Amino acid sequence: MSALKISTPFDDQLVSSLAAGEEVLLSGVVYTARDAAHKRLCALLDNGEPLPVDLRGQVIYFVGPTPAKPGHVIGSAGPTTSYRMDAYSPRLIAEAGLKGMIGKGGRGQSVVDAMVKHKCVYFAATGGAAALIAQSVIACEVVCYADLGPEAIHRLTVRDFPLIVATDATGRDLYRR
């Protein structure tokens, strides 16, 4: 079976059609964010302020890419452990309209509950394959929080980024099977 080709932004229909265990090739815009950026985004939500990036229908990749070598768009771009974002993900899903996340490892029950309630999907990227993953990135720019260095929020344009649906919008979870 070949991988399903999907593109951002996501809507509820697309998210609902994806099943845990399914292989996908993702194209379009993906934002990067790790713990420090998530904390800042949630602080803005706490204060009723607008986010610097419109996350409605978007996907966040939990990665801190390394600087690009000459002639390359991005450096190494492997996923970080996702549970570190569990304190923040439910709010970004419920309040900011986030529809997809990419990382590695399982997610907590509060995240899965928010995914089911608000139609969101979690993808697993292959850990240890950072250089391979970087080949799917065709453009990269810092869009906010440049002071965080590699943990700034980047806007990536990806083509055929290989992923596996780890947790789908019904709560089926490869990590809990």
Q: Does domain 4-176 have CATH number 3.40.50.720?
A: no
d(CA 153, CA 151): 6
Catalytic residue of the set 38, 72, 118, 154: 38
pLDDT of residue 36: 97
Scanning the structure block, which residue is given the tokens 């190494």? 76
Distances (CA, A) of 5 to 2, 102, 118, 174: 9, 16, 23, 20
Task: Tell me whether residue 38 is one of the annotated catalytic residues.
Answer: yes
pLDDT of residue 43: 98
Dihedral sign from CA coordinates of 96, 99, 102, 106: positive
pLDDT of residue 3: 94
Segments making up each domain of the chain, as ranges = 4-176
With a cut of 50, list the residues of the chain below it in pLDDT.
Answer: none
pTM exceeding 0.85? yes
3-state helix, strand, coil in the chain (%, to 5): 30, 30, 40
Give strand ranges (E) for the chain: 4-7, 23-32, 59-61, 100-103, 121-124, 137-144, 153-167
